[in-house]
Amino acid sequence: MSVDRVTYNSDGLVPAVIQQFDTREVLMMGWMDAEALRRTLTTGRVTFWSRSRQEYWRKGDTSGHIQLVKGARLDCDGDTLLIEVDQIGAACHTGDHTCFDAVDLHPVVGES
């Protein structure tokens, strides 16, 4: 990934969508600044920037539910990251496997 193409928002952050590498299941979304992205790309573990705590947090350091990096991609506009991981344990802070287990919005399903 060419990190010089990353476009950060006005707070210096970029959204990072976290996806299970083998099943392609979307697990969660977090925020990264340039340093969190550097740490993620160079350590093999996902690091985020916590907007509420104003500090870095490496997924799983306190919970044991770690994310091992398997791939990283930048979208075509350069403003969203896709981080492919091997999720060990729950991805969501609620203990759910994915942060997208909670609420189904019941959309009308389009037909092709």
Q: Judge whether 77 is annotated as a binding position.
A: yes
* Cα 57 to Cα 98: distance, rounded to the nearest angstrom: 18
* Cα 47 to Cα 28: distance, rounded to the nearest angstrom: 13
As to burial, measured by CB atoms within 10 angstroms (0-12 exposed, 13-18 middle, 19+ buried), residue 97 is: middle
Q: Judge whether 101 is annotated as a binding position.
A: no
Q: Judge whether 61 is annotated as a binding position.
A: no
Query: Closest by alpha carbon to 79, among 7, 2, 31?
Result: 7
Q: Judge whether 76 is annotated as a binding position.
A: yes
* Cα 88 to Cα 13: distance, rounded to the nearest angstrom: 25
Q: Binding site for Mg(2+): which residues? A: 75, 77, 79
Q: Binding site: which residues? A: 75-77, 79, 92, 99
Q: Binding site for Zn(2+): which residues? A: 76, 92, 99
